[in-house]
Structure 1
Amino acid sequence: MLVLLLLLFLLHLLLLVLQLVLPLLLLLLLLLLLLLLLLLLLLLLLLLLLLPLLLLLLLLLLLLLLLLLLLLLLLLLLLLLLLLLLLLLLPLLLLLRLLLLLLVLFRLLLLLLLLLLLLPLLLLLLLLLLVLLLLRILLLLLLLLLLLLVLLQLLLLLLLLLLLLLIKLLLLLLLLLLLLLLLLLLIRRLLLQLLLLLLLMLVLLLLLFLLHLRC
Structure 2
Amino acid sequence: MVEGLITVSAPHIPLHEPALQLRDLWLRLGREVILRGVNLDVMPGEGITLLGENGAGKTTLLRLLASGLRPTRGEGRVMGFDLRDSRAVREYIHLMPVDAGLYPDLSCTENLEFALKMHGQSGDVASALRRVTLEPAASRRVRFLSAGMRKRLALARAHLLARPVTLIDEPFANLDTAGRELVLELLGELRAGGVTLLIAAHEPELARQVAPRALRLAAGVLHEE
Please state which band the TM-score falls in when normalised by the shorter chain. Answer: under 0.3
The structure richer in strand per residue is 2
Name which one, 1 or 2, has greater alpha-carbon Rg.
1
TM-score normalised by the chain length of structure 1: 0.15
The structure richer in helix per residue is 1
TM-score normalised by the chain length of structure 2: 0.15
